[in-house]
Amino acid sequence: MTLWPELAREIADSVLFPVADSVDADGEIPSSHFDALAAEGFYGLATLGDDGPSAAELVEVVETLCGGCLATAFTWMQHHGVVGALASTANDGLRKQYWDSLITGAVSGGVAYAGAIPNPPLLWARRIDNGYVLDGTAPFVTGWGIVDILLVSARDEFDNSIVHAVVPATLAPGLTVEVLPLIAARGSNTARIVFDGFEIPDTDIAAVVDDEQFQSTQLPGLWFNGAMAMGVARRAITELHDLGVDVDTFTEQAAATRRHLDLALADRADMSAARAAASELAVRVAAALVTATGSRSLVGSNTAERLMREATFTLVAATRPTIKTSLVERLVGG
């Protein structure tokens, strides 16, 4: 049996982390990072069933990779949204078109959910003969120029359902793309995409679900994305330990925060509060690392200042209004 967390740790420590500062400075992820993940089967983790990692092992894998190189892990994480959509689609032709290549990593995927989530939505779908037309904005799409296909989600303007489509991640009529200058996870090529009369045929539609079905899928995603903050916190704790700082309190807090996230996934705690606690912890540990490192952390392209920016990134990335509110309350001492 493959020991997935140990394998993730090997990749993080030997491939990702040694060049994470230069990846951040250059704003470009080496293709060898993704090749290493593909070679060890990490693009097909969600399809392995009993042979794959347990939920606890999966989150440890993601945390470990995020602590190795957030830009790489953040980009790779999006792939599993496409895999999940095609695993459950009734569109057999679409599944057959991409499935085998997605599992091996020969084809990589990204997601564009953020246009469908807000109220009111930012991205609308309008039904036409044999397909849909999309108008609006997907404000935060990771992997442009890196991934091959995108799972795009838009809200039907007539019945409020959610339309999920798989489209090539290439420029086409009706698309305008602006790559965003992120403060962290540089190299992930996160972009803002504007859709203007962008047509999608029915052959590319993975699913159309009602709002209740769509909302029911959000909790696991919020839990999964909490691994970004936990991964940054874990790496900062390791770096503090290497500097000779007593990290027992931080280690205990990290374990308690992980338990909080897991309880929230089981609907036994509030996910917004759990996510807020994870990002607050990442910021505090990263701040301690900057302080312990000293004046060297004020110079760009070093691990302490990068982790501080990455911790800040987790305060906002992949969150929701309720998480933001909970975080603000924690940060002001509420």
Asked whether 310 and 70 are in contact (CB, 8 A), the reply is yes
Asked whether 176 and 198 are in contact (CB, 8 A), the reply is no
Name the amino acid, one letter, at 198.
Answer: F
Residue 217 is predicted with a pLDDT of 84
- Exposed (0-12), middle (13-18) or buried (19+): which is 96, by Cβ within 10 Å? exposed
The count of other CB atoms within 10 Å of the CB of residue 199 is 15
Asked whether 62 and 227 are in contact (CB, 8 A), the reply is yes
**252: which DSSP letter?**
H
Sign of the C-alpha dihedral computed for residues 50, 213, 78 and 307 taken in this order: negative
Q: What span, in angstroms and rounded, lies between the C-alpha atoms of 80 and 83? A: 5
Residue 301 is predicted with a pLDDT of 83
Q: What span, in angstroms and rounded, lies between the C-alpha atoms of 105 and 174? A: 28
Total-model pTM:
0.95
Residue 218 is predicted with a pLDDT of 87
Query: For domain 217-331, which architecture applies?
Result: Up-down Bundle (1.20)
Domain residue ranges of the chain, discontinuous segments joined by +: 4-104, 109-210, 217-331
Q: What span, in angstroms and rounded, lies between the C-alpha atoms of 58 and 76? A: 14
SS3 state at 126 = strand
Q: What span, in angstroms and rounded, lies between the C-alpha atoms of 227 and 211? A: 26
Task: Report which of 119, 318, 95, 321 is spatially closest to residue 221, judged by C-alpha positions.
Answer: 318
Domains 4-104 and 109-210 share a fold: no
Task: Report which of 225, 211, 214, 308 is spatially closest to residue 265, judged by C-alpha positions.
Answer: 225
Please give the structure tokens belonging to residue 50.
């009993």
CA atoms within 13 A on the CB side of 166: 29
Query: What would the CATH number be for the domain defined by 4-104?
Result: 1.10.540.10
What is each CA distance from 254 to 11, 69, 239, 249, in whole angstroms?
A: 22, 19, 15, 9
Task: Report which of 108, 85, 3 is spatially closest to residue 52, judged by C-alpha positions.
Answer: 3
Residue 34 is predicted with a pLDDT of 98
Asked whether 236 and 287 are in contact (CB, 8 A), the reply is no
Residue 2 is predicted with a pLDDT of 66
CATH 2.40.50.100 fits domain 109-210: no
Asked whether 69 and 17 are in contact (CB, 8 A), the reply is yes
Q: What is the mean pLDDT of each run of 10 residues along the chain (334 residues)?
A: 88 98 97 98 88 89 98 97 96 98 98 93 97 98 98 96 98 97 96 98 98 89 96 98 98 98 95 98 98 93 96 96 96 84
Residue 55 is predicted with a pLDDT of 87
Q: What span, in angstroms and rounded, lies between the C-alpha atoms of 222 and 272? A: 8
Q: What span, in angstroms and rounded, lies between the C-alpha atoms of 303 and 290? A: 9
- Torsions phi, psi for 184 (to 5 deg): -155, 175
